Amino acid sequence: MDVQEIKQRFGIIGNSPLLNRAISIASQVAPTDISVLITGESGSGKEAFSHIIHQLSPRKHGPFIAVNCGAIPEGTIDSELFGHEKGAYTGAIGERKGYFETVNGGTIFLDEIGEMPLGTQARLLRVLESGQFIRVGSSKVEKTNVRVIAATNVDVYDAVKAGKFREDLYYRLNTVPLRIPPLRDRKEDVYLLFRKFASDFTDKYRTPPMQLDDDAQRVLSNYSWPGNVRQLKNIAEQLAVLERDRTITGATLLNYIPQEGSGSNLPMRIGNQPKEDFSERDILYKVLFDMKRDMVELKKLVADMMEHGGSSPNYANHSQTISQLYRDIEIPNNQDAQFTLQQPVTVNNSSNGSNESFITTHAEEVEESLSLIEKESDLIRKALKKHKGKRKLAANELGISERTLYRKIKELNL
């Protein structure tokens, strides 16, 4: 069976050379009984490849079971895998067969093998080498004929060097390594996968079909997809359910892609004019820093003018600058900082012989509040007031989505 036939049979979508190579290795190793270690990031489809290997093997009519080693508590994993006798431990009210006994003649898929305790690793090694195991609380040797396929999303060899994984078990499992490429290495497959998921979910939820514009397609391709196929499928489902406009734009898609703090996985901005992509916190910090800078500048100008008594060579510009700065600074209702103005002072400007008035004499600085919640509330109120309650325009002014603005209004009880 060639690669294309395998894709059609198991519903695998994509034409990436790395994906085709992984499918080819799986088809070649399937007819044998050797162990396979599948490596790949979380959500890349490791379990799907375990099904391919099982279904293309002589054991395809036997049982298949997938076990997540990281989800089973350390105290019970031996019992789950190898069974136990009555009274073997507190709560063992009867004997129990383990997975290696019930799957005899079939295939067992051990996912997250790197999370398996060292004691259990020793038991697993014996099964792989001799097909023998002992139930917990028993002394009787049992036999089993099971093919083991293991998978992990961590570097097992690093765990070997750290003493967290047995080296002999690593080489026994890694007879044939099979690496599943992450979605960021399969950029040509991203749009194909999205179309399939979108079609499935629109049928499932009976919503109109969706389509992506060119900008949205570029966003899909440029994002790094740390959650791989699972994350892409999740976003396709959200769009199918939540979006009323069935033509998805790049801006709309960006609202559904999480923006991580490090920025390492952020999508790239598309277009001839690159724009900075600010989070809500970035915007608040920027406003705070701008206000503080303006107030510091104002204090410097006032101090300079008081020191020179208005005779400073730069006085002609000072008066205009002070007025402009004071107009630009909008002090929120919580009074982060304020200047108490006294009467204007008339100064004789000897440079042109005229009298000019400017605001100086007294400035009282009140300690600033750095509460982001208060700043956020005040900014939202101002944006809504400026645009007369129109949320879409206010959201554009704040640099956030309309949906985020609506959520913030509810959270802050505005």
pLDDT, position 335: 45
Q: Give how far the C-alpha of residue 342 lies from the chain's centroid of Cα atoms, to the nearest Å.
A: 54
Determine the topology of domain 3-181 in CATH.
Rossmann fold (3.40.50)
Please answer whether residues 67 and 180 qualify as being in contact, where contact means their C-beta atoms are separated by less than 8 angstroms. Answer: no
- Whose CA is closest to 113, among 23, 39, 19, 30? 39
Bin 217: left if φ > 0, else alpha if -120 < ψ < 50, else beta: alpha
| pLDDT score for 340 | 43
Q: pLDDT band at 286, cuts 50/70/90?
A: low
- pLDDT of residue 111 exceeding 90, the answer is yes
Give the angle subtended at the CA of 363 by the CAs of 358 and 365, to the nearest 5°: 145
- Helix (H/G/I), strand (E/B), else coil: 295: helix
Alpha helix locations (H) across 16-166?
17-29, 46-55, 77-82, 99-102, 118-130, 156-161
Angle between helices 280-308 and 315-328 (to 10 degrees): 150
Query: Higher-confidence residue: 353 or 92?
Result: 92
pLDDT for position 123: 94
Confidence class for position 5, pLDDT limits 50, 70, 90: very high
> Where do runs of H (alpha helix) occur along 30-186?
46-55, 77-82, 99-102, 118-130, 156-161, 167-173
Q: In the chain, which residues fall in CATH 1.10.8.60?
A: 184-277
Tell which CATH classification among 3.40.50.2300, 3.90.1150.10, 3.40.50.300, 1.10.8.60 matches the domain 184-277. 1.10.8.60
Instruction: Look at residue 220 and tell me whether its pLDDT is greater than 70.
Output: yes
Please name the residue that has the structure tokens 């503080």: 292
CATH 1.10.10 spans which residues of the chain? Answer: 372-411
| pLDDT value of residue 264 | 43
Does the reported pTM lie above 0.85?
Answer: no
Decide if pLDDT at 360 tops 50.
no
Residue 170: its pLDDT value, please? 94
Residue count (the chain): 414
pLDDT tens column, 83-98: 999 887 777 788 889 9
**Cα distance between residue 383 and residue 396, in whole Å:** 9
What per-residue confidence (pLDDT) applies to 393?
85
| Range(s) of the chain covered by CATH 3.40.50.300 | 3-181
Q: Which helix (H) or strand (E) holds 391?
A: helix 391-398
3-state secondary structure of 310: coil
Judge whether residue 178 has pLDDT over 80.
yes
Least confident of 69-73, 99-103, 296-300, 345-349: 345-349
Q: How far is CA 282 from the centre of its chain?
A: 19
**Which residue type, as a one-letter code, is found at position 378?**
D
Query: How is domain 372-411 classified at the CATH fold level?
Result: Arc Repressor Mutant, subunit A (1.10.10)
Cα(128)–Cα(113) distance, integer angstroms:
14
Least confident of 160-164, 243-247, 277-281: 277-281
